[in-house]
Amino acid sequence: MQSLRFKALEGLAGVDSTLTEHNGKITEVFGSNVFTGKVVREYLSDEAYKSLMNSVKNGTKLERKMSEQIASGMKAWAMKKGVTHYTHWFQPLTGTTAEKHDSFFTLKGDGTALETFDGDALVQQEPDASSFPNGGLRATFEARGYTAWDPSSPAFILEQAYGKTLCIPTIFVSYTGESLDYKAPLLKALAAMDKAAVDVCNYFDKNVTKVTGTLGWEQEYFLVDEGMANARPDLIMTGRTVVGHAPSKGQQLEDHYFGAIPERAYAYMRDFEVEAYKLGIPLRTRHNEVAPSQFECAPIFEEINIAVDHNSLLMDVMNKVAKRHKLKVLLHEKPFAGINGSGKHNNWSMSTDTGVNLLAPGKTPKTNLMFLTFFVNTIKAVHDYADLMRAAIASPSNDFRLGANEAPPAIISVFTGKYLFDVLQEVKNRVNNKFDEQDEAILKMDLHRHIPELMLDNTDRNRTSPFAFTGNKFEFRAVGSSANCASAMTVLNTIMAKTLVDFKAEVDGLIEKGEKKEIAIMQTLRKYIVDSEKILFEGDGYSEEWEKEAEKRGLANVKTTPKALDAMVTPKATQLYTETGVYNEKELHARHEILLEDYVKKVQIEARVIGDLATNTILPSAISYLNELVANINGLKAIGLGDDSVKAQKQIAAKIAEHINVISENVQAMIEARKVANKLTDSRQKAIDYCEKIKPYFDVIRYHSDKLEFLVDDKKWALPKYRELLFLR
């Protein structure tokens, strides 16, 4: 029987990349499936509209009467668009989105069939949630979980080939109120940051009443022909290739980055973009990324909560649309060894309701000082809680990516660019005890005039930095491509909230002692710069010198997830999260537990896939070729040829036999190691065991398998090769 690999290779030629989707203006479709803007006005009474807007802006609870009206408006809108079902749409800790559809259809007591959707159904639902990760928060016998409407993220309609569903973004909490999803803590972190930042803004501008966190993510991904992906059980089961000999040509010619987009990928992009536009996801850019078959898309930045929802939604849409194009989209951080992995760089900033981006250098001395305040506080926050930033991006898949191929290392540092680095030094050197308001120069530092220099730093930005300032925002580059941005954003906004609260307390303290406000701010900023400057790093994050230097500076370099997660449950983290109200202690421990379990399960699945592939795919190919060689060697000898004539074949046969042995032994040893690890009851210890005792087998098995791939007759190799996966489309 022909192997799937060769069927897939044959099938490739028949792929049609014609573009059939919407080709008109984006504005014609943008937001057409979202209950927002004009349609909300159209379908709601003035009263309901006002109370909804108020709830969106200030997080106030909606009166029951209002939610009835809103539900009825939403239903009318959705039904006009052909929707039959609705669902609460949420983001449990599985890493994917969740939906459970209910129809509008109902039967009344007298048998009348009606379509209904009331306020209760809008506001709260009780999905049977026993099977979501909960880290011990709920026993299965009391597994009730609630989804509750988040009015700040608009409802939308998901279109599938056979129907349309009204989706209501919700948070997901346990019966006892603990959060079980990504969104609930994120909303709390954003509220904490808002309050703390407004208080600090008011030093400079009394009119500021709200500060919103903003996020612009960049989604990197790979595209592989579906037929070929189907012939790689590792890609299907784990999202990455666990074996694969390096292709002769990889990314060394640097010819893919920003190159002409291949027709098939382009058709796919256009198609998912249109779907995204309908959902109000403001995609703006698309391009080829560095690795062959790697691409990126990015939207215009949005309010964090919405941006997070949009990214989760887009990942779903990308998966679905890929099917139509007979493609498989890989969102894994490192689908292919040896070439670039995929990140989801999170561009983060904060902006005021007076229209000021707090991380953009201002035009006047006053706004400059405000910029400097938020800039330095961010650096201080990252310095003080670098371990939590590391934990926020920890996942088994991101572990493969960090530290190579333009992905930052595990050491958390901040890149400011030379100009601002010098400004910080200047503040440090000039703001001393004698510093007073006479020192005009420093208070009136004209950062705005230096924007060209800032921009230069920005374009020259450091690709090895996990957290880089890029002119008017920070780019958290360490976030992985498959991650839910909420993890990174919850941490960042929480640590920002806490740092700003402490900052304000210090400044107020100085003011109470009679210090002038600007001087008090400057002095506190100087202190913060001194306290946190060891986190600043402008050089090559991959270099050995940096590893050594970072160690000298006392910066952590935690390379693996199980240990990186320790940071979540330290007394310092507990204090941070309880003080800011983002997690209570129970929730924190549950989350830690969930992430450890997730680690174990994912590494366990990989180990199984590697064992399976080695045993029933790789070794049989090698043995079959070995049989041919042996037959040939015997045949040559039988016709009277001497040892010399079979020399090369004997060498090849010996090598193949050796690789077969090593693989087989290691698969066996890995299974034994798993049995030991599986008996451990402590999740942390189990995760560490999986990381340190089981994962090392992956590399050994892979090494020998890749050698076999090189030696064995190409026709006998069942798994599509890197050169095919990466270059044929």
Ligand X SMILES: NC(=O)CC[C@H](N)C(=O)O
Residues that bind ligand X (CB under 6 A): 220, 289-290, 340-343, 401, 406-407, 463, 477
Q: Which is nearer to ligand X, 275 or 289 (CB)?
A: 289
- Helices 485-512 and 517-532: crossing angle, nearest 10°? 130
Q: Which is nearer to ligand X, 73 or 250 (CB)?
A: 250
Distance CA 227, CA 10 (A): 10
Shortest spacing between CB 330 and ligand X, in angstroms: 13
CA distance readout (Å), 177 to 88, 171, 584, 666:
17, 11, 11, 47
Q: Which is nearer to ligand X, 210 or 287 (CB)?
A: 287
The torsion angles phi and psi of 84, rounded to 5 degrees, stand at -115, -25
- DSSP symbols for 260-302: PPPHHHHHHHHHHHHHHHHTT--EEEEEE-SSTTEEEEEE--E
Distance CA 400, CA 606 (A): 13
Tokens of 273: 């973009």
The residue count for the chain: 729
Shortest spacing between CB 291 and ligand X, in angstroms: 7
Q: DSSP letter at 535? A: G
Tokens of 491: 């941490």
Q: Which is nearer to ligand X, 476 or 537 (CB)?
A: 476
Three-state SS annotation for 112-137: CEEECCCHHHHHEECCCCCCCCCCCC
Distance CA 135, CA 565 (A): 14
| Contact (CB, 8 A) for 477 and 466 | yes
For strand 85-90 and strand 163-174, is the pairing parallel, antiparallel, or unpaired?
parallel
Q: Where are the alpha helices (DSSP H) in 393-436?
A: 396-401, 418-430
Shortest spacing between CB 346 and ligand X, in angstroms: 11
Kindly give, in sequence order, each residue whose CB lies less than 8 Å from that of residue 683, ignoring residues fewer than 6 positions away. 593, 596, 597, 600
CA atoms within 13 A on the CB side of 675: 5
Shortest spacing between CB 463 and ligand X, in angstroms: 6
Shortest spacing between CB 339 and ligand X, in angstroms: 9
Q: Which is nearer to ligand X, 145 or 541 (CB)?
A: 541
Distance CA 455, CA 457 (A): 5
Q: Which is nearer to ligand X, 404 or 662 (CB)?
A: 404
Shortest spacing between CB 348 and ligand X, in angstroms: 15
Q: Which is nearer to ligand X, 317 or 407 (CB)?
A: 407
Distance CA 254, CA 239 (A): 25
Rounded to the nearest 10°, the torsion over CA 435, 437, 439, 440 is 150
Q: Which is nearer to ligand X, 342 or 621 (CB)?
A: 342
Shortest spacing between CB 337 and ligand X, in angstroms: 14
The torsion angles phi and psi of 624, rounded to 5 degrees, stand at -60, -45
Shortest spacing between CB 276 and ligand X, in angstroms: 21
Q: Which is nearer to ligand X, 286 or 716 (CB)?
A: 286
> Which amino acid is located at 51 in the chain?
S
Q: Which is nearer to ligand X, 200 or 393 (CB)?
A: 393
Q: Which is nearer to ligand X, 221 or 277 (CB)?
A: 221
Kindly give, in sequence order, each residue whose CB lies less than 8 Å from that of residue 463, ignoring residues fewer than 6 positions away. 406, 477
CA atoms within 13 A on the CB side of 343: 29
Whole-angstrom distance between the N-terminal and C-terminal Cα of the chain?
Answer: 24
Q: Which is nearer to ligand X, 468 or 653 (CB)?
A: 468
Q: Which is nearer to ligand X, 221 or 375 (CB)?
A: 221
| Contact (CB, 8 A) for 468 and 476 | no
The number of beta carbons lying within 10 Å of the beta carbon of residue 640 is 7
The number of beta carbons lying within 10 Å of the beta carbon of residue 451 is 16
Shortest spacing between CB 296 and ligand X, in angstroms: 8
Shortest spacing between CB 345 and ligand X, in angstroms: 6
- Helices 304-324 and 485-512: crossing angle, nearest 10°? 170
Shortest spacing between CB 340 and ligand X, in angstroms: 4
Q: Which is nearer to ligand X, 227 or 292 (CB)?
A: 292
Instruction: Tell me the residue nearest to ligand X as measured from the CB.
Output: 343
Q: 334-345 burial string, b = 16+ CB within 10 Å, else e?
A: bbbbebbbbbbb
Distance CA 364, CA 366 (A): 5
Shortest spacing between CB 149 and ligand X, in angstroms: 35
| Contact (CB, 8 A) for 211 and 197 | yes
Tokens of 19: 């573009």
Shortest spacing between CB 293 and ligand X, in angstroms: 13
Shortest spacing between CB 510 and ligand X, in angstroms: 41
Q: Which is nearer to ligand X, 219 or 580 (CB)?
A: 219
| Contact (CB, 8 A) for 233 and 329 | no
Shortest spacing between CB 415 and ligand X, in angstroms: 13
Q: Which is nearer to ligand X, 461 or 534 (CB)?
A: 461
Q: Where are the alpha helices (DSSP H) in 466-584?
A: 485-512, 517-532, 544-553, 561-564, 571-580
Q: How far is CA 125 from the centre of its chain?
A: 27
Q: Which is nearer to ligand X, 463 or 601 (CB)?
A: 463
Shortest spacing between CB 498 and ligand X, in angstroms: 28
Shortest spacing between CB 307 and ligand X, in angstroms: 18
Rounded to the nearest 10°, the torsion over CA 278, 313, 491, 395 is -150
Place of tokens 């887009």: 314
Q: Which is nearer to ligand X, 402 or 443 (CB)?
A: 402
Shortest spacing between CB 220 and ligand X, in angstroms: 5
